[in-house]
Amino acid sequence: MYSRHIIINIGRQLGSGGHDIGRMLALDFGAKYYDRELLNLAAKESGLSAHVFEQHDERKGFLRSLLHLQAGMSSANYARQGFSQDSLFQFQSEAIRKAASEGSCVFVGRCADYVLRDHQNIVNIFVTASMEFRISQVMARQPFATLQEARHFIEQNESKRADYYHYYTGKKWGHASSYDLCIDSSVLGLKDTEKFIAEFIRKRFKL
Amino acid sequence: MDNKQSTLELGQKPVGRLLWQYALPAIVAMTASSLYNIIDRAFIGQVVGAEAIAGLGITFPFMNLSGAFGAAVGVGASTCISVKLGQRDYKTAENLLGNTVTLNLVVGFAFMVVCLVFLDPILRFFGASDVTLPYAREFMQVILLGNMITHMYFGMNAVLRAAGKPRHAMYAVLFTVGMNIVLVIAFVWWLRWGIRGAALATVTSQTMALCWQTWIFSDRRELLHLKRGIYRLKADLVRNIIAIGISPFLMNVTSCIIVIFMNNQFVRYGGDMAVGAYSIANSMVMVFFMFVMGVCQGMQPIVGYNYGAEKYDRMLRCLWLAIGVATAILMVGWALAMLFPHEIARIFTTDPQLLDLSARGIRLDMLVFPIIATQAVITNFFQCIGKVKISIFLSLSRQLIMLLPLAYLLPLWWQLDGVWYSMPVSDFGSFAMTWPLLLWYLRKFKGYVQSSYHY
């Protein structure tokens, strides 16, 4: 079974319960679960502080793109960039590949589907949910005063996530053609959605 | 993994050695390209005459503008390509390479056509007079005809660096500079082709370098090489290239606007000769300033990495070292300017009137020269640690926010001298703004360092 370990990538809308589903799947398939842990791994690889990775985690806004001033102040930049958002992504990707080569994994986000695109036993899943469901999920985790505030939080962070994904993969985030299965978790609820996905994965790998 | 090793070294090797290692290639390349401007101007000034050098000064922002478009594509593409190469996504990287070629051709061609059609009005707007216009026009016609080649050359060089061949890119620059010197001697001095000869020398040497670059990229054994089916523009890729390229573009456009404005002020208060003097003084400033830019580039990865790794003592050591080195270099330039302004001006011209004007100009322009070093290094420091807003504000403060109004106001009292005064005054003003910001920031920072020692 050494070379037969499986990789499950989960893309998720904010508040769709992708994390919980990922965790349950990891239990079901005896896989390791990677989410924020990746940041620590990447930090260890690079010698950089985990704070830096957290600051740049799945974010790519307009101001961030101005960071490229660093590369672009002059058209003759000869010094190799030791530190930029791009190199952070590079370290994170290395961490993802390393983890994937060691055993079965569940990755949540971080463009893992793109980073591991050449891997053989891979299944890409995208979890969506209705706005109401997501708002209630987000409000359970973080105390927002109003529904409006929670909705605003979701929309803002999601657009950053989408930009990040698009910048590094060249694909549109959440676009059905990039995934093997797209599913709305608010229809069946988290538990049953997870069972459904697990069934799909079993069929996919003929387990 | 060699790339990873060199990144980890940023946190371990002695800071001085690292700075030397990273700054040297940048200094060599940047100084080489500023030397190239000097040599062009020197030959034109000596052989063709004082009016020609004024005409050349008028075309300078034009070259900047063309460079702005070239940089937008080149820097954007090279950044995207290095990301894709890091991901071993060779297909997209090749596609980016092809798109870079096409984009450069399209942009270069459009720029050429528009500028050739409106050449005279543009040059007038840039400050050309009846005397300088013919020189500026002759020079720009040749340069513009070769514009696509220039863009391709710069673009390819940026891609070479991204493709892990920074040394090849440096050779290309050194080759162009060397070849240009040989050709300028041949065209301007022996064949007496005038200012057009200098332009032709530039374009020819870039063409030769481009041939070499194309040859490198045609090698099928290379991971990244030119082949069929990669040239069709893809909206996605182009958008990414431009999104990144926009900031170097704006930087170049800013410096272009400043030179246009300064040239116009010089023409207004001192005539064509004053523009010539400004162009001479500016070349002198540039040679030394390029050293400082090289130091700044060298410190970027070191400061950035150590900031990220929370090794603040190393980060600060690198900052102080860079400030020290940069200031020392500018002190040398300052001493030369104060002691031998006539001898420096003599490199560019024999005309007694222009000599006197330039000598005085060099002295005034570079009056407080060494303090620019700190300003540049600190601006760059803020950029390295991701304080982009502060960094943009500081880099604009010297040029746009202070220089432009001063260059408008001071001549109202002191005429031509006022235009010259505006430069040291704005240098000093931005210097005075930079230090408090840094100290304020470092104080906040010191507490942070100490508190992290507590546990």
Q: Does an H or E element contain B216, and which?
A: helix B194-218
Q: Where are the alpha helices (DSSP H) in chain A?
A: 18-29, 37-46, 50-55, 62-66, 69-72, 85-102, 112-115, 131-141, 147-169, 185-188, 190-205
> Using 50, 70 and 90 to split pLDDT, how confident is the model at A75?
very low
Band of pLDDT at residue A61, cut at 50, 70 and 90:
very low
Provide the token pair at A39: 């940041």
Strands A122-128 and A181-184: parallel
**What is the number of CB-based contacts under 8 A between chain A and chain B?**
144
Higher pLDDT: A201 or B247? It is A201
DSSP states of A128-162: E--HHHHHHHHHHHS--SSHHHHHHHHHHHHHHHH
- Identify the three-state secondary structure at position B165: coil
The DSSP line for A110-127 is TTHHHHTTT-SSEEEEEE
- Each residue's pLDDT, cut to its tens digit, for chain B (455 residues) gives 356 666 777 788 888 888 888 888 788 878 887 888 888 888 888 888 888 988 988 998 888 888 888 878 888 888 888 888 877 888 888 899 999 999 999 999 999 999 999 999 999 999 898 989 999 999 999 999 999 999 999 888 888 877 777 788 888 988 999 999 999 999 988 888 889 999 999 999 999 999 999 998 888 887 788 888 888 888 888 888 888 788 778 888 888 899 899 999 999 998 888 999 998 998 889 889 888 988 988 888 888 888 878 888 888 899 999 999 999 999 999 999 999 999 999 989 888 999 999 999 999 999 999 999 999 999 888 877 777 778 888 888 888 888 999 999 999 998 888 999 999 999 999 899 898 888 888 886 665 554 444 33
Query: Would the CB atoms of A79 and B297 count as touching at under 8 Å?
Result: yes
By C-alpha distance, the chain A residue nearest B389 is: A63
Q: Does B242 touch chain A (CB under 8 A)?
A: no
Q: Looking at the DSSP assignment, which residues form a beta bridge with residue A106?
A: A8, A33
Residue of B8, B83, B389 with shortest CB distance to A168: B83
CA distance B382 to A56: 17
State the Cα torsion B187-B192-B194-B196 to the nearest 10°.
Answer: -40
pLDDT score recorded for residue B313: 85
CA-based max dimension of chain B: 74
CA distance B216 to B14: 35
A189 alpha carbon, distance to own chain's centre: 21
**What percent of the residues of chain B are helix, what percent strand, and what percent coil, each to the nearest 5?**
90, 0, 10
State the smallest CA–CA distance between residue B341 and chain A in angstroms: 29
- Nearest Cα residue to B197 out of B36, B35, B351, B44: B44
Q: What angle do CA B403, B65, B195 make, to 5 degrees?
A: 100
Instruction: Pick A78's closest partner by Cβ from B92, B166, B302.
Output: B166
pTM of the model: 0.80
Three-state SS for A11?
A: strand
What is d(CA A206, CA B173) in angstroms, rounded to the nearest whole number? Answer: 58
Q: Pick from B106, B78, B72: which is nearest to B93 by CA? A: B78
pLDDT of residue A82: 45
User: Smallest Cα–Cα separation from A12: which of A192, A163, A162, A151?
Assistant: A162
Indicate the residue type of B82.
S
CA atoms of A43 and B112, how far apart (whole Å): 48
- Whether residue A87 lies within 8 A of chain B, CB to CB, comes out as yes
- Report the C-alpha gap between B286 and B292 in whole angstroms: 10
Name the β-bridge partners of A182. A126
CB contact under 8 A, B87 and A72: no
Which residues in chain A are contacts of B29 at CB distance < 8 A?
76, 78
Query: Is pLDDT of A56 > 90?
Result: no
Beta-bridge mates of residue B18: none
Residue from B94, B300, B312, B384 to probe the interface with A (highest A Cβ count within 10 Å): B300
Cβ distance B247 to A68 less than 8 Å, yes or no, reads yes
Which value does ipTM take for this structure? 0.70
